[in-house]
Amino acid sequence: EADIYQTPRYLVIGTGKKITLECSQTMGHDKMYWYQQDPGMELHLIHYSYGVNSTEKGDLSSESTVSRIRTEHFPLTLESARPSHTSQYLCASSEGLSGLDSKSLFADTQYFGPGTRLTVL
């Protein structure tokens, strides 16, 4: 079982507030990801990281920012929350080995945290 944690699990907050969603993993994985998922809808990649001091934007435009100062920690910040940010936010990590052998390909497996359900009023 993957050891990846997210806090808070649920958050209800007013418009305009700054919030940080926490994500930590204890597996030493290099790659980490943030996804946004509305109920019954598909996952959208909003940020990812190759490793420490590496962050990239994903396919879905997002007003959030991320940082990766430590391998195990990948927080996501919204400077000014809006109702349109209401969604479920899922953090994931993968080992991320290079190569085409079975072990390396399996290392791309993403393990998900329990998610943070955010409601902005």
| Binding footprint of another protein on the chain (CB under 8 A) | 31, 39, 41-43, 45, 48, 50, 56, 58-59, 90, 96, 100, 102, 105-106, 108-115, 117
Q: To the nearest whole angstrom, how small is the minimum distance from the Cβ of residue 30 to another protein?
A: 10
Q: To the nearest whole angstrom, how small is the minimum distance from the Cβ of residue 32 to another protein?
A: 11
Q: Is 81 exposed, middle or buried (0-12, 13-18, 19+ CB in 10 A)?
A: buried
Q: To the nearest whole angstrom, how small is the minimum distance from the Cβ of residue 27 to another protein?
A: 14
Q: To the nearest whole angstrom, how small is the minimum distance from the Cβ of residue 83 to another protein?
A: 20
Nearer to another protein, 5 or 65 (CB): 5
Tell me if 48 sits within 8 A of 93, measured CB to CB.
Answer: no
Nearer to another protein, 48 or 74 (CB): 48
Q: For residue 8, count other CB atoms closer than 10 A to its CB.
A: 13
| Cα angle, residue 42 at apex, residues 53 and 104 outer, rounded to 5° | 50
Amino acid code (one letter) for 112 = F
The single residue listed with the structure tokens 């209401």 is 86
